[in-house]
Every structure is written in C-alpha cells, then in structure tokens.
Structure 1
Amino acid sequence: MGAITDDARRAARFEEHRGRLRAIAYRILGSPDDADDAVQEAWIRYDRTDTDDVANLGSWLTTVVSRVCLNLLEARRSRPQPSLRADPPETIARTPESDPEHEALLADSIGHALQVVLDTLTPAERVAFVLHDIFTVPFDDVAPIVDRNAATTRKLASRARVRVSERGAALQVDRVRQAMVVDAFLTAARNADFEALLAVLDPDAELHADDRVITLGAKSFTRGAAKVAEFGRYAKGATPVLIDDVPAMAWYVGGRARVVYTFTVVADRITAIELIGDPDRIAKLDPVAIGH
C-alpha cells in the first residue's frame, strides 16, 4: 500500500507540471504529437530518477523536456521532415483537466506567423529563444540545456529575436505571453487561489472601473496587488475573449458581454485591469468569446 501511495504521489507531482511542459514542448517542436512524445519521455526519465532532493521540480522537469526537444530538433536536421507550417493551430497546454476555453485562448493567440519563423532557427537558437523570451527561463538555466555558457546562450536568443522581429512575428510573442498571464489570472480566480493571484499581479497593480461597473458594486479605482487580488473572486465567472486578437476576459449574461476586462501586462505581471461596462464601448471593442 505504501509503494502505491508513493507512486501516486510522484505521479501527482508530475501532473502539476504537465501543462507547462507540454506548452514548452509544443512551442519548441511545433507539433502536438511530438510535444506529447517529449512530455512522455520526460515522464519516463522522471519516473526512473530519485527527485526527492530536487529543490525545484518545475525547473528540473523543464530542463529534461527541453533537452528531449533539442534532441528531436537535431534529429530532424539530419533526417529532413515534412514542413509543419500547414498544421492548424493546436492548443499548447492540454491536460485531461484543462479548460477548453483556456486552451483555445492560448492557441488562437499564437497564430502561424511565429511558428513559421521558429522553423527557420537552428535547434539551439530555437530552444534558447522559446525558453527565455516566451517562458522567461533565465539564461543561466537555459545555458546547460543548449550546452553553452550564459553569454553565448544570450547571443543565441538575440539572433533568434532579430529574426523573429524581421519576419514580423514579435507581436505574436507578446500575445502568447499575455495569453499565458491572463490565463493564469483566470485560473487562479476560478480556483479562489489568492496566492496565485498575487503571483501574477504587479505589486502596484491598479484596477479601474467605469461608471456602469461601479453601479454593479465595483470601486472606481483600486491600487495594490492584495486589493486587486481580492477582486479575483468576482472574476471567476468570466470567459476568455479576444479583442483585436489581444487576450482579455468578459462576463456574459444572456449571451451578451456585460463587463469586459482588459489587461496591461509588463514583464509577465499584470500592471492594470480595466473594467468596462458601458454598452457602447463594449460594442466598439467587439470582444470575441472563445468557446462561449
């Protein structure tokens, strides 16, 4: 019984990180099937390794799955594969328990442009860029994955960044990261996870509400992560939306958006949330509900 309990505990620890691991693998590899294979290989290596003394399991697993992905990319170069560019958008963090609305928000925010550019990078450039610029992994942690020192790894990511910008996909990177931040906020709100809300908010985060939303009980202005996080309990019923392809949220009543939540994201933290209830403004924003 004890062994079964221990196996279940180890499996549960891995499942806590599966969504992020698949997101990383999918963005590096560009193929949902290859991403699933990479995560499965990461699970096998995890299952065969004693990780009880690993201080940061998330970082350890990120290293493992990224190395698996790097090996797969290098194998592709030696055995050319059919282009993946025609693949339809796929969700990047699918788990059995994940919310289809969240998955669709992330997928639709990525688009094809970024994937096309990533296909032109060398394996090391691609891994360095994806891990640092999209998933904010420090260069010191990326360096051993690509078998370079931190300075060289920084140059790899820089070259990749220039190519991404030249090919017009830089905006897609920003949208991917904003989608992840908004998704994290909504997930924390739905789970009533106050600490997770604080983690995604800038310490000086602000919340602004228009006159229509004030009539619903909101304050016109709130400042500070703790106070804004308290608002999270009211956001748990919101739905992910896109406004001009930018991730946002909306509260629907009777099939119509009654309150729209727009976000200002800087360095992977929410610095401001605006609550818009004015029907004319909402009509002009024309939010597109994802999976609603």
Structure 2
Amino acid sequence: MNATTAPDTVFEAHRPRLFALAYRMLGTRSEAEDLVQDAWLRWHQTDRDAIRDAEAWLVTAATRLGIDRLRAARHERLAYPGPWLPEPLSVDDAPGPEHRTDLFQQVSLAFLAVLERLGPEERAAFLLKEAFDYDYDQIAALLDRSEANCRQMVHRARERLLAGRPRFAVEPERHRELLERFMHAARQGDRRAIVGLLDADARLVADGGGKARAVIRPLLGADRIARLYWAVARRNGYSDWRMGTINGEAAVLGYTNGVLTSATVAVSDGERIVELFTLRNPDKLGIAQ
C-alpha cells in the first residue's frame, strides 16, 4: 500500500457505514451518495497525519454534512407538493427465502418516514445512539454538545417517535399477513373489511410529488381511508397489486402495464394497521424500473 493509494483504501473501508448513516439522515439514495462524495473530498483535503481515528473523523464529517443538508432540505420540502416520503433503496416483488435485511444497506421506509418528525441534530443523535450504538461521550464530541444535552435529545427523540405507535415489536410474518389481507380488501374496495383491518385512528400518508395522483395531506381515520380505497377500486377496477418488499420490509406493490406505480408499507400492532405510507412519485420508484 503506497502513499497515494492508502487514503482511498482507508476511506473505502468505511464507505458502507458512511452511506448507511447518510441514507438514514437524508432518506434518499442520491443525496446520501452526494454526501459520501463530499466526505471523500474533505478526507482528501485534510491533513491525515493529524488524524488519530479515521472512522471517528469520517463519521463526524458525514454527520455534520448531513445536519447541514437536512436544514436546507426542510426549506425545500416546504415547497414540495403534498407530503414528502423517503426514497427506497430496493424494491423486490419476489423476495426468496434467502432474503435478508442488511444492517448497513436496508432500513424500514416507515422508520425513515417517522424520522422526519425530528430536527436535524436530534435525528443525528438518535441515529448515532440507536442505529450505530455510539456512546453518549462519542456523540457529544461529534456534535460539539454536552453529554447531558445529547442524552436529552435522544430521550426526546424516542418519545416523539413512539408517540401514538405500537409499544411492542410485531413478528414480520404476522405483519406481512395483516398487510396482505389489507391488499386483498383494498383491491376489492371492501370498505367493511378495510375498516376492520385498520386502527380507528389510522393515518395514511401518500407522496405523489405533484407527478402522480395522491392525497395532498395525511388522511386520518379508518372510515376515511376505507372510503378512499373503495373509490379507487370503483374507478380503476381490478388493480395489479402484489406483495413484495421495500428495503427488506413487507410492502404492497402496484403495477400499471408492468410498470411499478405505487408502493405501500405499513406500521401495525399485529392486530390492526396504525399507519400507511404510500409512494406514488415515479422519481422515487425508479429503483425498480
């Protein structure tokens, strides 16, 4: 390993972790890739002889870049047509039994959507603690905050993310079964069955990006959501919906003439669906084309 190749070798060893952090921070593949590239540029422009811990330096750089981008993105998303949802890394309409969720490449789309409720630094602190198992002293040094302040941020983030959501983890098989039953009921426009599968205070969020038909604000309540799917079934007739996965989690995938036009994931308590997140923006579904 010579002097000219060593910096790239070191950086490439940490690239998967940097991309995983960037994607969780920003929620889109392209922005995460841009952030990692910016971190690479900073790595090459710094005095590496003065760096004791390459991983700590790179994660710090990526986190601070992510916070800056999130602050800018919040202003951009105010002008976004309707709700904004994250962009999936992977869509699979036929996951085999060997399918596994990779910690560094896959993350629940529903989880990413909920992270949008957090402020930039709060999101960074929460991810570093919960997703990457950093200690509070490490997070404090990285964010240039006190340990007490970082503990408070992570605690507030947990409370905000758990508010109104199921308290206990649901077995993936049970969750998938519930979503599949919802798919069949929605395909038929069966309002009674849909209401029976939804929590009374269920919430639907759809992202059309101004490029596809979608509700422009969150839809609240089982009855209202059921009426929407009833109307869609009456208007469109039989829909080509299939069970698949998005970022490794169960999803309902909708196709028109063989082209993916919608993707829905859910949050459930094992008995009822609490939240539905539907992507219809074709720019965010291009990964499957």
Structure 1 length as normaliser, TM-score?
0.49
Which of the pair has the greater relative contact order for Cα pairs under 8 Å at 6+ separation?
Answer: 2
